[in-house]
Chains A and B, each alone.
Chain A
Amino acid sequence: MATVAPFDIPYTRIIAPDGSVDGDLPDFARDPAGVIPLYRAMVRTRTFDARAIALHRTGRLGTYPSGLGQEAVGAGIAYAMKPEDVLVPAYRDTSAQLGRGVTPFELLMYWGGDERGSDYSGPRRDFPVSITVGEHPPHAAGVALAMQIRRESRVALCTLGDGATSKGAFYEAINVAGSMWLPLVVVIVNNQWAISAPRAIQSGAPTLAQKAVAAGFPGEQVDGNDVIAVADVCSRAVERARSGEGPTLIEAITYRLGDHTTVDDARRYREDAEVSKAWGNEPLGRIRSFLVAGGAWTKEDEEGLLAECAAEIDRAAEEYLATPAMPVEAMFDHLYEELPPAVEAQRRQAIRESATDA
């Protein structure tokens, strides 16, 4: 018997949970000061996340999916991408979106129920978050195909959760990415839980990264709570894609410390002990320890950063809360480029009926 298709799944971790160096530091991290922007990005995301939850609890924001504990994945992804690349995110990828230049105001607008929140002022070509689970990887493949046809030096990067890897559209997308050798990076943010379904329910495969094997391109795991490792692994994958060396599937191992959303109660289906243990592995503390040990971060730096982030999110929240809803006819404004006469009558009807309400 001969082996015709061997495979292996590498795993990368560079910084251990206690902040000690546990692997080869990439160039940007050799001077700890080079890691400060990543740490700042994670603190900013966590500040946003806490504020979003507080706004929901006081009835001022809609359902919001917390990314608590997953800040490193998005920060590393955003680090790896160039502005002209395209992010096709899932709904819990606030961290990556903030890193890409989506503003806290826009995110609050979106989760507060206003479509204008997806009209990103920064990354104009990035996709809005996908609420449908795992149906968006084909869009990222299409974006990558456009880049390939036009011979552009750009890359599409798609994020999805561990639950989304059970969807057919995910398999169809990685399959076509392999057959067309697209400039696409797919990052599975494996936070161990899909609402109440643990990772084991999604797949009998020991890793989700190995799903790339069937698609014909490399798959690898990275410690998703190690921002230096995520930034390094994603950067290598993005640059391979950019230089025509094909797609990569990355499984970032992390943990959803919060509830699925603000209307979920995770205590119904998982043990407190598991969550407490996961807190010992969360991504901010280890990088702070790394920075402090390297003499690149002080208590004053920390306090200054927290105050700066809080002030920024305060301003965004105030702006969001002060922004009135769109008029009723807004639901027709971007239905088509040009509203067909057949629908125009309903637009007028909506305006008329809204006026009666008031």
Chain B
Amino acid sequence: MPEVTFVQAVNQALMYEMGADERVVVLGEDVAATGGVFRATEGLVERYGPDRVIDTPISETVIAGLGIGLAAEGMRPVVEIQFTGFIYPAMDQLLNHASRLRNRTRGRLTCPMVLRAAGGGLIKSPEHHSDTPEALLATIPGLKVVVPSTPAQAYGLLLAAIRDPDPVVVLETSRLYRALREDVPDDGVALPIGMSFVRRQGNDLTLVTWGGMVPEVLAVAEELAADGVEATVIDVASISPLDMDTILESVGQTGRCVIVHEAARQGGFGAEIAARLADEGLTSLAAPVTRMTGYDAIYPLARLEGRYVPDRRRIAAAARKVLEYA
């Protein structure tokens, strides 16, 4: 079986589900003729035609709004916002409309829409291309938010998102698109939304992370193992709903937790996990819950971005500090 990259896995999922369900339509900027700026939608228009793979005007509000109308009419739209930094014009559509349509109409109209967007830094892109807005989205009731970190997750969670009866935002990490390869059987099997993945088992420390930070955190866990410290790495994957049980269970064993994310610290999604640990896991804690995150500063341009996103050195330092508590 050929190994595929993350972005190929996204394409594979779209290709599969468009074949399996004729209600699935893909729309966004540059998704048809050029197959997406990252080629995530490559070949779709050739196979499924321009009725179902639609290049839209450059208009994020209308891309999300079209998705809502299509979904309410029983279609399964997968809309693409090219970069997470351009998601904000669509926020009213997500926050006031997509997430609320089912509740507002007591289930009469629903919004089974998927909104995909690529984000995350370290690809030397222009301003506004590097945001990781999962915390903004996680605070919206009625919405689901997933952040895949591997080709297999990209495939399985996107399938789950398309089949989900409610709106799901899939935040993809552009620097992972071609960084990883793995076997991803094109079997149409979805991964569950609302479940985290334990990527490594250890009894000394729990490292909690998601998306683009997962490879870095796994690498740090290996460095720590060389020093005899065994860490559990939890890949949250599903920001909303959050699988808190897996985190509580692990921290119950290790007593120590570092949460790592790329977005700014204040009000970041790590704060939610830390608060939940304080509420529900306090008695098992042997050390303060620590966050290693982007700074509460504007995401810098390319020359400094490597200093903003937590790197292995900073993550390892945070882990060692937590381990110092007796």
Chain A residues proximal to chain B, CB less than 8 Å: 86, 88, 115-116, 118-120, 124-125, 127-128, 132, 135-147, 149, 156, 168-169, 172-173, 175-176, 179-180, 331, 333-338, 340-343
Q: Which residues of chain B from 47 to 96 have a CB within 8 Å of any chain A CB?
A: 51-52, 54, 56-57, 59, 61-62, 64-75, 77, 89, 92-93, 96
Residue B142 CB within 8 A of the other chain: yes
Residues of B within 8 A of A145 (CB): 54, 66, 69-70
- Kindly name the residue among B96, B106, B243 whose own CB sees the greatest number of chain A CB atoms within 10 A: B106
Residues of A within 8 A of B77 (CB): 142
Would B104 and A149 count as touching, CB distance under 8 A?
no
Would A147 and B93 count as touching, CB distance under 8 A?
no
Could you tell me the distance in whole angstroms from the C-beta of B91 to the nearest C-beta in chain A?
Answer: 11
- Which of B107-115, B150-158, B224-232, B312-320 participates in binding chain A? B107-115
Would B109 and A125 count as touching, CB distance under 8 A?
yes
Residues of B within 8 A of A127 (CB): 72, 109
Could you tell me the distance in whole angstroms from the C-beta of B216 to the nearest C-beta in chain A?
Answer: 27
* B27 to chain A: closest residue by CB: A145
| A138–B79 alpha-carbon span in the complex (Å) | 14
Would A341 and B241 count as touching, CB distance under 8 A?
yes
Residues of A within 8 A of B107 (CB): 119, 333-334, 337
| A172–B60 alpha-carbon span in the complex (Å) | 9
Would A146 and B69 count as touching, CB distance under 8 A?
yes
Q: Can you name 9 extra interface pairs (CB under 8 A) apart from A138-B69, A140-B69, A142-B73?
A: A118-B104, A128-B104, A132-B92, A132-B97, A135-B97, A138-B65, A333-B106, A336-B165, A342-B244
Residues of B within 8 A of A176 (CB): 56-57, 59, 62, 66
**Known contacts A149-B51, A342-B194; is A141 also within 8 Å of B69 by CB?**
yes
* A118 to chain B: closest residue by CB: B105
Q: Which of A120, A149, A331 contacts B25 (CB 8 A)?
A: A149
Would B70 and A172 count as touching, CB distance under 8 A?
no
Residue B266 CB within 8 A of the other chain: no
Residue B256 CB within 8 A of the other chain: no
Could you tell me the distance in whole angstroms from the C-beta of B256 to the nearest C-beta in chain A?
Answer: 24
| A295–B72 alpha-carbon span in the complex (Å) | 46
Could you tell me the distance in whole angstroms from the C-beta of B324 to the nearest C-beta in chain A?
Answer: 33
- Kindly name the residue among A88, A138, A180, A341 whose own CB sees the greatest number of chain B CB atoms within 10 A: A138
Could you tell me the distance in whole angstroms from the C-beta of B75 to the nearest C-beta in chain A?
Answer: 5
Could you tell me the distance in whole angstroms from the C-beta of B104 to the nearest C-beta in chain A?
Answer: 5
Residues of A within 8 A of B92 (CB): 132, 135, 169
Residues of B within 8 A of A172 (CB): 57, 59, 61-62, 65
Chain B residues proximal to chain A, CB less than 8 Å: 25, 51-52, 54, 56-57, 59, 61-62, 64-75, 77, 89, 92-93, 96-97, 101-110, 141-142, 144, 165-166, 194, 240-244
Could you tell me the distance in whole angstroms from the C-beta of B276 to the nearest C-beta in chain A?
Answer: 10
Could you tell me the distance in whole angstroms from the C-beta of B146 to the nearest C-beta in chain A?
Answer: 12
| A135–B72 alpha-carbon span in the complex (Å) | 16
* B75 to chain A: closest residue by CB: A146
Would B68 and A138 count as touching, CB distance under 8 A?
yes
Would B70 and A168 count as touching, CB distance under 8 A?
no
* B77 to chain A: closest residue by CB: A142
| A144–B241 alpha-carbon span in the complex (Å) | 32
| A312–B86 alpha-carbon span in the complex (Å) | 50
Could you tell me the distance in whole angstroms from the C-beta of B38 to the nearest C-beta in chain A?
Answer: 23
Could you tell me the distance in whole angstroms from the C-beta of A225 to the nearest C-beta in chain B?
Answer: 30
* A336 to chain B: closest residue by CB: B166
- Kindly name the residue among B67, B68, B141 whose own CB sees the greatest number of chain A CB atoms within 10 A: B68
Can you list 14 A-B pairs with a CB-CB distance of less than 8 A? A118-B104, A119-B107, A119-B108, A128-B109, A142-B65, A142-B66, A142-B71, A142-B72, A149-B75, A169-B61, A172-B62, A180-B54, A336-B102, A337-B166
Would A124 and B62 count as touching, CB distance under 8 A?
no
- Kindly name the residue among B54, B65, B75, B77 whose own CB sees the greatest number of chain A CB atoms within 10 A: B65
* B79 to chain A: closest residue by CB: A142
Would B241 and A342 count as touching, CB distance under 8 A?
yes
Q: Which of A118, A138, A180 contacts B61 (CB 8 A)?
A: A138
Would A119 and B106 count as touching, CB distance under 8 A?
yes
| A137–B92 alpha-carbon span in the complex (Å) | 13
| A146–B142 alpha-carbon span in the complex (Å) | 23
Could you tell me the distance in whole angstroms from the C-beta of B113 to the nearest C-beta in chain A?
Answer: 9
| A173–B62 alpha-carbon span in the complex (Å) | 6
Residues of A within 8 A of B68 (CB): 138-139, 142
Would B59 and A139 count as touching, CB distance under 8 A?
no
| A175–B107 alpha-carbon span in the complex (Å) | 30
* A154 to chain B: closest residue by CB: B73
| A328–B81 alpha-carbon span in the complex (Å) | 36
Residues of B within 8 A of A136 (CB): 65, 97
Residues of B within 8 A of A132 (CB): 92, 96-97
